[in-house]
Every structure is written in structure tokens, then in C-alpha cells.
Amino acid sequence: MAAMVVEEMVYPPGLCVERHAHETDNLIYIVSGPHWSSYSRGGDVCLPGTVRFIPAGEPHENYFPERSRCLTVELRQPTPIARAPGEVKTSLGGRLYHEFRQRDDLSALGIEATILEILLSRRHEERLPAWLLRVREMLREERPTLRDLARAVERHPVQVSRQFRRHFGCTISEYVRRVRVGRAQSLLNRGGLSVAEIALACGFYDQSHFTTTFARLVGMSPRQWVMAKK
């Protein structure tokens, strides 16, 4: 089995990928199109030119507000050092992409060497307070008010709102909308449920509310989105 698989991926605008995990460690170099990612220790906006590391088994979710192109590296052997999820402090992403684009007899050697350098680079880490991670988890399963959230974590509502936006790159309400649309896209892919049933299953008040929110984030209605994927 190959030690790594390197692929260039293009993600369509409006794609919300619900929480998932990979069986192997992954490196991602964002070529173009910023997107948003959330993982166990936090979340932020992933800008072009940056490199991200996602360890095997790490739950994470993504939202692509616009078309995004990424180089993904699936590492099928253990990495030389243990790494936490998030941005890697390195300027080597551009070199990695250049080696990938060469596609000659030396590109595999160049890719492997660059990846090893990246894995040994410093990682950018800002530890999130446990109370903020608890707020995020509450938002996934409940419909709390801001006051409820603040009371549960013993913080002022303004602090909860400000810190959430700072660390996760979006407002509390926008995060919940992305989570719901991500779940809806997953259910739409599976088939078997009507749009109205999916709307209720994902926490929307009704089909109209679901369709309006979906169209704003994705750029098309749920039915149009299903047809576009066929």
C-alpha cells in the first residue's frame, strides 16, 4: 500500500460537510477559496496559502462559502511526531503544490520530502477554554438562548457571543445554520426522505424556513442542489 495519497480536490460553493472523521492523518493545503473548519480544539477560517493538519479519528466539519481548491494528502503511515489538529505554521505549502504539479519522475520524491518538512514545522495553536467548547456542543443538540448558554457556562452573554465569533470565525446563529444545512445535505444525498421531513429532522421550523436558509448558504434550493449532483 502506498505511504500517501495526494489529490487535488475542488469543493463547490455552499457545501456544508457535517461532522466526520478520517481513518488516516491528513494534510490539506488550501490553493484557493477560503473556507471554514471546526474541530475538537477549536475552529477558524482556512485561508489560501495555509496548511492544515487533521489527525486520524479527529471529528471535524467544514463549510465552503465559495468554490475552494485544495491539495489533500492522506498519510497512510504514522506521522513522525504527534500533532494536534489545526493550522501548521509553515511556508512550504506552495512548494508542495508546485511539486505536485510537476508530474515528472522526481515529483514523488519532492512531495515526500516536503511533507516530512511540513510535519516537523511548528504548529499554530491557541488553546480554547473548555467552556467555549461546551457552548459549541450544546448548540449541536439543543436550541438554547444566549442567556441559557451563558448561564450554563457561568459567563456573561456578551463574553460568550464575542469569544465564539473570535475563535470559530462566525456568529453563534450562523454556526447553527451551517450545522443544520450540513445535516440536511447528508440526508438529501441518502434519499428516502421528503424535503419537509428533512427540514424537521434538521431543526428547522418548517419547509419554507429550511428552503430559505439552504438557498442563502448554498446558492440554490434543496431540490436544485440534489439535481445538480446527479
Average pLDDT over residues 190-196: 89
pLDDT value at 126 more than 80: no
Amino acid identity of residue 132, one-letter, is L
pLDDT at 84: 80
Q: How confident is the model over 9-50, as pLDDT tens digits?
A: 999 998 999 899 999 999 999 999 999 998 877 777 899 999
Give the Cα separation of 76 and 1 in Å (integer). 8
Provide the pLDDT for residue 1. 43
Cross-strand pairs, 224: none
CA distance 81 to 164: 30
Half-sphere exposure of 224 (CA within 13 A, CB side): 9
Q: What is the domain partition of the chain in residue ranges?
A: 4-119, 130-229
Whole-number average pLDDT of the chain: 88
More confident: 65 or 141: 65
Per-residue pLDDT, 105: 79
Q: Which CATH superfamily is domain 130-229 in?
A: Homeodomain-like (1.10.10.60)
CB within 8 Å of 53: residues ≥ 6 apart: 25, 26, 27, 28, 83, 84, 85, 86, 87, 88, 119, 123
CA-closest candidate to residue 202, choices 143, 159, 157:
143
As a CATH number, domain 4-119 is 2.60.120.10
pLDDT tens readout for residues 79-95: 766 678 888 888 999 99
Backbone angles phi, psi at 42, to 5 degrees: 160, -145
Q: Mean of the pLDDT values across residues 88-111? A: 89
Mind listing the pLDDT tens digit for each residue in 153-171? 999 999 999 999 888 888 9
Q: What was the pLDDT predicted at 125?
A: 60
Report CA-CA distances (Å) from 181 to 16, 77, 186, 218, 219.
6, 34, 9, 9, 12
pLDDT of residue 35: 92
Q: What average pLDDT does the segment 212-217 reach?
A: 93
State pTM to two decimals: 0.80
Partners of 71 in the β-ladder: 8, 29
